[in-house]
Every structure is written in C-alpha cells, then in structure tokens.
Amino acid sequence: MKHIEKNIKEGIKLHILDTPKFKTNIVAIFLTTKLEKETVTKNALISAILRRGTESLKNQEEISKKLEDLYGATFDCGVDKTGDNQVLKFYIESVNDEFLPQKEEGVLKPSIETLCEIVFNPLIENNGFKLQYLEEEKENMKQRIQGKADNKARYALERCIEEMYKDKPFGLYKFGNIEDLENINEKNLYEQYKKLINDCKVDIFISGNIDEEIVNVVEKNKSIINLNARQPIYNKENSKVTTKRGEVIEKAEVQQGKLVIGLDVNSEDEEEKYKVLVYNNILGGSANSKIFQNVREKANLAYVASSRYLRYKDNIFINCGIEIANYEKAVDLIKEQISEMKNGNFTEEDLQNAKKSIIAVVNTIEDEQDTGIAYYFGQEMSEKATSVEEYISKIEKINKEEVLKVANKIEINTIYFLRD
C-alpha cells in the first residue's frame, strides 16, 4: 500500500492509500476537535444530523437514491474518541472504477463530491438545521446514551475510564450527556457546526486503486475550495492521570460481575510504546498470556480475561467477566501476574510468541481498507509517520530487558467492579 500525503490547505490534509488489492474505493472524511464537556453532545449530534440531508439532497431518500446511482455505494458515519479528541467520521464505499463497464463514467469522483456535500453543505432552513430532523436525532441520541449500560462489559470499561479521568476530557462519553440535549436547538447547533468546520483538523482519506489525478479532483471540489485554511484546534498532547482512584464498586442488575483494572504505564516516549505493546501481549493480550492462562484456564475464575493497551492515553485495561463471589480471588491473582512481570518471570518463548502475535495483526493492516485508514490516521494523530514495515521492525528488535523495564513502571490506578 502506497501512502501519499498532501496538504490541501493548512489544517486540511489529503491521504491517498493506493493499492490494487481491493475492488472497492473508500472515501473518508475525519473532523477532529477537542473533547470538551461544553461541546461533546453537540458534536455527536452534528454527526447524526448531517446524514439526514444536504443542500441538494434534501432527505435520506434522496441521499440513498444518489448512492444507488453510484452502483450501490454505501454511506456510514459515526463518532470516536481518540485520546483527548472527538472525531466525527464519514465514509462512502463504492466499486472501483476499473470494474465498471467501459462506457460508464467512473464513480470515485462523484463519491468524493457526494461525501463532501454531506459533510460540508448540510440542509439549512432559517439559519439553522431542519427542526424536524433535529428533534428526531435528539431522541435517537437520548436513547443511545441511555442504552450505554445495555452492554455491561463495555459499560464497565467506560465507567472505569470515567473514574480514572474524572474532570478530564477522556472521561467524557463520546456521545455526550442527556442533560445537554434539552438546551440544543436548530440554531445553536448550526452555530457549533460552523465553528467546528472552521476550526477542526480535517483529514480526507481515499483508499483503493487510485489515479494521481484524484488529487486535482479534491483540490477543485467546491466544498473544499470554500473551506478556510486554519490552525486546527485539537489536542496534540494527551492529558495524564494524576490521581489514583483505588477501588470503585458499583451495583446494577447483572448476573455476572464485570471487573476492569486500569493500569498507568508511565512510558517515557513514543518509542517505548512499542515495548508496552509486547508487555501487554504477554500480560493479557493473547490466548497465551498470563492472565488468560492463569486466571481463566487454570484457576477457572473468569469467563473472559484479557487486557488492552490504549496507546493514546498510555493505559492498560484488564477486563474480566467473573462470578461475583470470586472478586477478591480474581483481583489477587491478577495482581500476582503483574508482579510476575515485574520480577521478570516470563520466558524468551513468551517474548517471541508475543512479538509474533503483534506482527501477525500488523500484517493484516493492509488487508482491509478501513483498517488501513485507521492505522494511517493513528500515525497522523501521533505525528510519527511509521510504515507497516518499520512498525514490524521495531517490534522484532524488542528484548526481554526492555519489556522488564516497562513492567517495573506499571502501577494499578483503579479497580472497578460492577456487581449485583
């Protein structure tokens, strides 16, 4: 996969991921802005309302008809939390022009134009969003926020993060708060939209078998021309946890306890984070890991047992589904695995298996278009351009002493338990 970058304007970057591997093209636009209590709900609502209609495509039916005309192209959008930033994401996937009948015009250019229309030319009535659409999307958002507790494992992770990052941006829920919805109207949401579009970081991704001429298509797009250059307002640095929360126990109607342990990694720099990946894989990131083997398989204390490294925040989160009566035993055994890592009680075989596991995942990055886009967006946000080959090389060079150094920086921040 050939990765080409071009600054269209200051704060607006085009990323071309050129590969003949796929029969489809994906066009994606990411709007990155600070994650803030005052705007998090409005921004999430903006993502939802933009898909309802544009200046020329007044409703979802007309948007769907346009997508059908593009040989059944598909549209999707959503909101993510990337470190201390909120990212609004919009995608159109369409068949690669090479697979169209020769007499037919290509669909990549109109796909770009359609996505830009959705994101940058929304349907506006009386200096605001269409009231009907807004009220419907507010109700949808209310239900979505209320439903966050439906998936208990995900809810427990969110609550652990919320406790660790209390009063900090990363502690906010990416869809915001129900309380904020009452004060949002068609006009103040449109004002927030204009501010967002003028100030946010804009990344445009085009993945597929791409002709270099596509750069001109993007640069000459009317919506792109109308965008101002900007010093984008977003968080380049991610805040650290400064307070340990200890033990947090919450009660709910659950049949199975959900245990989440948040660890502070305290890595020194971006390069050390590759070593943390290996550490995490040995600790709980694979089926060969200490937590999986000792907590789930041998002690039979957990139905689910794993750990995940959040690179942007430099935290590891251990997740277990356990019998409520086994809480203390599970916590003690997990602490024991963390101590074992600090004492260097892992083998060269453990190290090599972890590296192979990570490299196997990295090798799949260019096998799926959306995964490739996510990878290169991550590189963009970390401001460290690393190719897949370089990434693999960095993992291959890691030795036991480096992992041991990481292990001895790890500290438990928060133990969160959701029980009945």
pLDDT tens track for 52-94: 999 999 999 999 999 999 999 999 999 999 999 999 999 999 9
Low-confidence ranges of the chain (pLDDT < 50): none
What pLDDT score was predicted for residue 158? 96
Q: Is the dihedral of CA 69, 73, 77, 82 positive or negative?
A: negative
Alpha helices, H only, 9-151:
40-50, 60-69, 108-120, 131-146
What pLDDT score was predicted for residue 104? 62
d(CA 409, CA 264): 8
d(CA 203, CA 331): 42
Cα 143 to the chain's mean position, in Å?
22
Cα 382 to the chain's mean position, in Å?
13
Q: Which amino acid is at 322?
A: I
What pLDDT score was predicted for residue 384? 81
- Contact status, residue 414 vs residue 358, Cβ threshold 8 Å: no
Alpha helices, H only, 70-209:
108-120, 131-146, 152-164, 178-181, 186-199
Report CA-CA distances (Å) from 168 to 164, 171, 383. Answer: 9, 6, 23
121: number of Cβ within 10 Å = 16
Cα 268 to the chain's mean position, in Å?
23
Residue matched to tokens 């304007």: 9
Show the tokens assigned to 237. Answer: 């640095």
Among residues 138, 137, 124, the alpha carbon closest in space to that of 190 is found at: 124
What pLDDT score was predicted for residue 103? 53
Give the pairing of strands 201-208 and 246-251.
unpaired
Report CA-CA distances (Å) from 308 to 14, 261, 266, 382. Answer: 30, 11, 15, 19
What pLDDT score was predicted for residue 383? 84
Backbone φ and ψ of 406, nearest 5°: -65, -45
What pLDDT score was predicted for residue 243? 77
d(CA 7, CA 14): 6
